Structure 1
């Protein structure tokens, strides 16, 4: 098989690329995805995220684990990642957050020329169809439907009030002129049309509506095992689909969009990466590119959870499950109610120190008990508040476990390796305690799940015992101009023609917030780069 463009990975970035590149009827596009089309009820019903994120059973989820983390008592963290069209946008909490304009200006200063906020903002607007309409901060004509939550729980509004305990003011739009404050998240959810109330994954927004295009071929349950190269140029990929193994040729470009874990893994399996590490696994280097798999970092998350005497939250007890069942029936009819909830309804962005010029902490308020990524269920009705430090200093690596493409990679985010991250997480946890103790949450506050004696030592011990990812790994194919950069600012792999990486792995530094909306923006810009290159030929 031969195509102009071959996209390896049908996640958020790959779905955007396939849709945008195939808009040109003179271009042929092939998209390879290891998972399914991800159209089932588990994906469509927002509340059923709880059934997928745990990886038990493994539904639309790679369900990775980290290597033992030295600063987290040697624990192996859990790393859920989406598997199927739409990638992690099919299993996330649907929160639409771009980060701060300064994040993108920082990228440009770090060597990613042309990725400053002024350059990136138009692509955010082009991707978005916001129910609030068009403005300087929002678009209303893009594929991705973004809306306000229709019926958030009363406790979520009580959480917004509680944030005043740490001088965090209300904020009605985290993607507006100022990110700081507390409020309810906007979500990537259908708010218009027959699918009202369903998850609007990136595949549902961009890809599913155009899969019948004659110039677009989408192969699901197919896995890329190796990028094929000739004379320092990418020419295609070796694919396995069931028992069949075959090659697909790309006459213009191969685009790698397998995410912060999958993209560096596939590069290394193809002989592109740190030469000594490749030789350790019997892989002959095609290109010694030391930055592949370096710069891995993620948002570390700490949670406080309480049981609740009130029943207007989520519980896995018989009464709670009955409420969920009734909510499911209502959601099918009207697209509203608890089944339409992202569960992480409320949030806040605040400064750990008033002297800072911008927020460095993010909160997620969840209307149920979350413990170990839903891998440790609790029968009680309850609620949880998460906090993460948005710009961590610690940096880890992604490495091969073996030369077998089916083997999970070695994921080491090096959580809390930098002492500055340890000090910040302690301050963050203290602020979180003040918020959860605020009077507005009194009617819902029952028993605290993991109490401690109140000392800094005890609190830090609890952080080390329970903190884990909030699902935002980035940076393993960093863009820039220095010797450790993997791609240039046009996202072209340095030293290999006809090969780009387009996904969250190219971020030089994680954004101050959730990573799905920025990944869509990156893919929108990459499609524009490729379109310009094609027209310039």
Structure 2
């Protein structure tokens, strides 16, 4: 029996566990289907190469064949370990844009989601390196950022001449330089800040579980424990969540909620809709076709899937140091390893992308709708060896795709992966932005600041010039940047596709399903204009406050 049961010890779940177990009178259970984060490659930043595609740390999902990608199926990494995706992701700290949160407030009718109301939740757990020594830091930066929280943000521990030149070329192409992507308008070019501490990955398990939660007697963590389905019952005419059935290493267990308790789904944009559907909460036709009794017909469960699709342009360069050549020999690799061992710097401390830029796909756009991730390397595909020539990769994604996809279970078997169909490049608008972004990349590379490296376009290739050709080629070379959101979106009561209300309570026939919330990236009505890890932490921060406030009211009998 527990007061709070959290399903998923990923980005959101670890923060929720920390906040909800702070009251010693509340028993808290955190359930994680994956294992402990004791694999050494999790903590070495470049180790994402060994974690993605590894069954020890990754669910190994694949998308369905995508028409917009010319029939290709993509690898779809999701963290299967304590810390979830924060243990295998790119470590980039990015909030998005002010307008993202103002749009959420409009979609839900709740001003609690406006930028000004979300900013305190971002700052609450933030520990920004620039505020280690606040002398000389301007007042605007101090107002926008926090210090002393659990979530460490640091600058990267290396630079590259070829990336500095790309940044200068971007400025020449009309993109301003910036030192802060996170003040509400991220337009500009600069090096990303990362979730690291002294050259090591800083995942949410380190930040929020160790040592705090482990030292609390009211906290339990079960790893290797997969929720099969939720335990639901009708009480006084209202559907309630009373716990869950969990497959543990020791067998099938039933975990139950104390009266007034809550179960919080924090299993992510794939896991949370999967668990709801397995439990009979979702599109009635889908559930009935699989022989699952419908507890609550919610057509939005598993719908509204959004993701950032990055289009990878590769340029051969001359006279530049890139990772392709630096890591080409045993001597080079040994030198890289030695630098990391001594200084915790160099290529082994690298995030997957070092330089970022946010800009507009056309001059008539009122805000930045493109994001660049620029890397001093190239390879045929993620997980493949580096190319044997000097090159950089300039990946660009549409921040606000209009394409929408689905996540749907294939059977009543919880062990079977759901069908993931992002539906990339399925709208004319998205194909138009894809073509425009490739043209903009060429414009940046053509600037004088980059001329010394004699760039030669390797992908997609200068023979492709028309918008039609470029949109089709985007389907050949694009890949996910691992930002799925939206599959349990929040919305107003009159939005038939909304799964949760503005306080993330799952909708039911008589208002809400008692004792059940979702608090992860799946609740985003629209994807944020940037990397999605940090917005997910903010969502969990707000959810924890609401859960604790409701628990306090229940205790007082209000």
TM-score tier by shorter-chain length is: over 0.9
Structure 1 pair 79–316 and aligned structure 2 pair: CA distance change class (3 A): farther
Q: Distance in 2 between matches of 1:67 and 1:345?
A: 30
Matching of residue 522 in structure 1 with residue 539 in structure 2 = yes
Q: Deviations over 1:196-248 (max 9, x none)?
A: 21011122111122223211111111111111112111111111123511111
> Given the alignment, which residue of 116, 120, 128 partners 1:130?
128
Matching of residue 497 in structure 1 with residue 510 in structure 2 = no
> Given the alignment, which residue of 70, 82, 86 partners 1:85?
82
Structure 1 pair 281–445 and aligned structure 2 pair: CA distance change class (3 A): farther
Is there any run of 5+ residues in structure 2 with no aligned partner, and where? 135-141
Q: Is the 8 A contact 1:306 1:445 kept in 2?
A: no
Q: Deviations over 1:73-99 (max 9, x none)?
A: 111122111111111111111110000
Structure 1 residues 321-330 or 466-475, which shifts more? 321-330
- Give the 5 Å matches for 1:213-228: 213-228=216-231
Is there any run of 5+ residues in structure 1 with no aligned partner, and where? 191-195
* 1:314 Cα deviation from its structure 2 partner: 1.5
Q: Distance in 1 between matches of 2:40 and 2:334?
A: 14
> Given the alignment, which residue of 297, 300, 304 partners 2:306?
297
> Given the alignment, which residue of 118, 121, 125 partners 1:120?
118
Q: Distance in 2 between matches of 1:6 and 1:470?
A: 30
Structure 1 pair 112–62 and aligned structure 2 pair: CA distance change class (3 A): farther
Structure 1 pair 18–299 and aligned structure 2 pair: CA distance change class (3 A): same
Structure 1 pair 287–182 and aligned structure 2 pair: CA distance change class (3 A): same
- Give the 5 Å matches for 1:6-85: 6-53=5-52, 55=53, 57-85=54-82
Q: Which residue of 2 aligns with 1:281?
A: 290
Structure 1 pair 168–321 and aligned structure 2 pair: CA distance change class (3 A): farther
Q: Is the 8 A contact 2:326 2:332 kept in 1?
A: no
* 1:178 Cα deviation from its structure 2 partner: 3.3
* 1:454 Cα deviation from its structure 2 partner: 3.3
> Given the alignment, which residue of 476, 481, 499 partners 2:487?
476
Q: Deviations over 1:143-164 (max 9, x none)?
A: 0000111322222222211212
> Given the alignment, which residue of 351, 360, 371 partners 1:351?
360
* 1:459 Cα deviation from its structure 2 partner: 2.1
Q: Is the 8 A contact 1:502 1:526 kept in 2?
A: yes
Structure 1 residues 443-452 or 219-228, which shifts more? 443-452
Q: Which residue of 2 aligns with 1:193?
A: none
Give me the CA root mean square deviation: 1.8
Q: Which residue of 2 aligns with 1:164?
A: 171
Q: Is the 8 A contact 1:492 1:500 kept in 2?
A: yes
> Given the alignment, which residue of 416, 427, 430 partners 1:418?
427
Counterpart of 1:89 in 2: which secondary structure?
helix
TM-score between the two structures when normalised by the length of structure 1: 0.94
* 1:312 Cα deviation from its structure 2 partner: 3.0
Q: Distance in 2 between matches of 1:148 and 1:60?
A: 26
Q: Is the 8 A contact 1:299 1:392 kept in 2?
A: yes
Q: Is the 8 A contact 1:112 1:479 kept in 2?
A: no
Q: Which residue of 2 aligns with 1:155?
A: 162
Structure 1 residues 387-396 or 59-68, which shifts more? 59-68
* 1:59 Cα deviation from its structure 2 partner: 4.0
- Give the 5 Å matches for 1:407-446: 407-444=416-453
TM-score between the two structures when normalised by the length of structure 2: 0.91
Counterpart of 2:310 in 1: which secondary structure?
strand
Structure 1 pair 208–37 and aligned structure 2 pair: CA distance change class (3 A): farther
Structure 1 residues 514-523 or 456-465, which shifts more? 456-465
Structure 1 residues 131-140 or 371-380, which shifts more? 371-380
Q: Is the 8 A contact 2:432 2:471 kept in 1?
A: no
Aligned length: 529
* 1:63 Cα deviation from its structure 2 partner: 2.1
